[in-house]
């Protein structure tokens, strides 16, 4: 079997993505609750602190900045 054929089936792939979304939601909610009055950079750093150990080879992307800005703006409810 070619190694490019080794992959999760669609059901497992969907669960992995759902789990990743849940981890992101929990990090955003926790950060919003504890850092509502912080600067965007502080919120961004806190989000990354919550996420970095939850994913293999985690690298922050534009989504993390988007959610940090939403927390600071009070848009997370």
Cα 60 → chain centroid: 8
Q: In the numeric block, which tokens belong to residue 16?
A: 């992995």
Give the model confidence (pLDDT) of 15-54 as tens digits: 999 999 999 999 999 999 999 899 999 999 999 999 999 9
Q: In the numeric block, which tokens belong to residue 49?
A: 């602190």
Determine the average pLDDT of the residues in 45-65: 95
pLDDT, position 36: 83
pLDDT, position 17: 96
- Could you identify the residue written with the tokens 């965007």? 40
- The predicted model scores a pTM of 0.87
């Amino acid at each position: 079997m070619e190694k490019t054929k080794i992959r999760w089936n669609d059901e497992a792939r969907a669960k992995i993505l759902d789990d990743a979304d849940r981890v992101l939601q929990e990090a955003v909610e926790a950060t919003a609750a504890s850092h509502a009055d912080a600067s965007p950079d502080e919120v961004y750093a806190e989000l990354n602190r919550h996420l970095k150990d939850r994913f293999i080879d985690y690298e922050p992307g534009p989504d993390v900045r988007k959610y940090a800005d939403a927390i600071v703006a009070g848009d997370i409810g």
